[in-house]
């Protein structure tokens, strides 16, 4: 689905270490601002979106685009005549003018390309999932931290105005104790050979869950199926368990007749619905809930109270999520701060993908996850 580039392994990569490399800085006042020069690797499915957004940022520019397909690079040259093109990834990371590399290639190339870029002293933007395995993801996190470089994982949904508003409401306690998260993320296709449907679609829910809540799942159970020989699993039902009692469920599929992108979050006080395909009121808040008697003498009577209040749709930021994310990435490079979707979050997501895939292939066997805090 995505374009590929020349593999970075097998060659010696020379580049200044990030500990001694000074990144660009934004100047205050009317002083001239040095631009962050970005190289984009892969101009297939997602690469064009990255190039377009980076090109329109105030403090960044797309310096070079790398892709193995010369015809694709001809398109880049016509659309962005000031941008260099190359079929050689090594040429890109050797260029001292390039500050950061954005990798939009198949997941099986992520580790080698990202590791080579980090060793060349480049900040890295990496498409999701960040690696094929948690071992690879952990190695990238350690390399970036050793060199003082920004490692950003492109979990775009987190930068949507709707998900950020959901985070705001949850953190403010408006929903009360969170009881459940229920998601359906289905469509017809796109079938892929290098990743299963959990890595393709479930990854969005795993990253959103990590962002929204101050705890990490302790176990996962998944059931899925591959209906066509020679292809990965094309539908799955995933359940994540939390120590607090929160339970999360995601239904992901490449076999649905329609595209659906919906999330329900139930709290003890209020409930949320999120429909990403809704053109205007994507997020709705319902003042609904239930209450049970706390009188042990009456518990046998199942005294249940149902509360029905107002529904409202809050205003959310309508800015393009990828634009918001790009600005955040550049700001992290300039100011030396940690991205919201840093390598640690990306690693935790890969760990959940591994556990869910293992459970699915064990016909729903519960797989326990490593216990860790949000800052791990």
The residue extents of the domains of the chain are 1-127, 158-322+351-368
CA distance 28 to 34: 11
Determine what percent of the chain is predicted with pLDDT higher than 90: 80
CA distance 1 to 354: 22
Residue 51: per-residue pLDDT: 98
Is 195's pLDDT higher than 80? yes
Coil, strand or helix: which one is 309?
strand
Is 355's pLDDT higher than 50? yes
CB atoms within 10 A of CB 75: 15
Residues 110, 132 contacting (CB under 8 angstroms): yes
Residue 6: per-residue pLDDT: 44
Q: What are phi and psi of 326, to 5 degrees?
A: -60, -45
Residue 26: per-residue pLDDT: 43
Query: pLDDT per residue over 228-258, tens digit each?
Result: 988 899 999 999 999 999 999 999 999 999 9
Query: pLDDT per residue over 97-153, tens digit each?
Result: 999 999 999 999 999 999 999 999 999 999 999 999 999 999 999 999 999 999 999
Residue 146: per-residue pLDDT: 98
Query: pLDDT per residue over 61-102, tens digit each?
Result: 999 999 999 999 999 999 999 999 999 999 999 999 999 999
Structural fold of domain 1-127: Rossmann fold (3.40.50)
CA distance 44 to 83: 17
Q: Which of 150, 1, 5 is nearest to 65 (CA)?
A: 5
Assigned CATH class of 158-322+351-368? alpha beta
CB atoms within 10 A of CB 335: 10
Paired tokens of 134: 């948690």
Mean pLDDT of 336-364: 97
Mean pLDDT, rounded, of the chain: 90
Residue 296: per-residue pLDDT: 63
- How many angstroms from the chain centroid is the CA of residue 337? 18
Q: Which ranges of 189-248 does DSSP label H, i.e. alpha helix? A: 197, 203-212
Residue 294: per-residue pLDDT: 67
């Amino acid at each position: 689905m995505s374009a590929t580039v020349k593999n970075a392994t097998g060659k010696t990569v020379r580049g200044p270490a990030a500990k001694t490399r000074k990144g660009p800085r934004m100047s205050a006042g009317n002083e001239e601002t040095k631009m962050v020069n970005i190289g984009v690797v892969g101009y297939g499915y997602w690469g064009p979106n990255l190039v377009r957004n980076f090109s329109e940022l105030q403090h960044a520019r797309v310096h070079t685009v790398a892709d193995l397909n010369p015809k694709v690079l001809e398109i880049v040259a016509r659309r962005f005549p000031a941008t260099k093109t190359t079929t050689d990834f090594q040429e890109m990371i050797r260029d001292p003018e390039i500050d950061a590399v954005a990798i939009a290639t198949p997941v099986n190339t992520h580790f080698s390309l990202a590791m080579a870029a980090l060793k060349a002293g480049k900040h890295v933007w990496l498409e999701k999932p960040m690696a094929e395995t948690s071992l690879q993801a952990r190695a990238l996190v350690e390399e970036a931290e050793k060199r003082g470089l920004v490692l950003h994982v492109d979990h775009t949904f987190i930068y949507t105005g709707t998900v950020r508003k959901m985070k705001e409401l949850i953190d403010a306690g408006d929903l009360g104790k969170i009881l459940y998260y229920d998601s359906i993320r289905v469509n017809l296709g796109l079938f892929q050979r290098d990743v299963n449907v959990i890595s393709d679609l479930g990854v969005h829910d795993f990253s959103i869950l990590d962002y929204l809540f101050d705890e990490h799942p302790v176990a996962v159970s998944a059931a899925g199926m591959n209906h066509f020989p020679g292809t990965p699993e094309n539908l799955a039902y995933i359940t994540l368990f939390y120590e607090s009692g929160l339970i999360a469920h995601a239904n992901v599929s490449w076999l649905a007749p329609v595209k659906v992108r919906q999330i329900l979050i139930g709290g003890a006080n209020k409930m949320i619905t999120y429909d990403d395909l809704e053109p205007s009121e994507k997020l709705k808040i319902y003042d609904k809930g239930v209450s049970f008697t706390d009188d042990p003498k009456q518990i046998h009577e199942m005294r249940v109270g149902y509360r029905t209040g107002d529904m409202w749709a809050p205003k959310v930021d309508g800015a393009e999520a990828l634009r918001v994310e790009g600005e955040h990435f550049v700001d992290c490079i300039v100011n030396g701060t940690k991205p919201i979707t840093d390598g640690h979050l990306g690693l935790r997501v890969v760990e959940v993908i591994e556990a869910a895939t293992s459970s699915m292939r064990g016909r729903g066997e519960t797989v326990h996850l490593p216990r860790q805090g949000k800052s791990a």
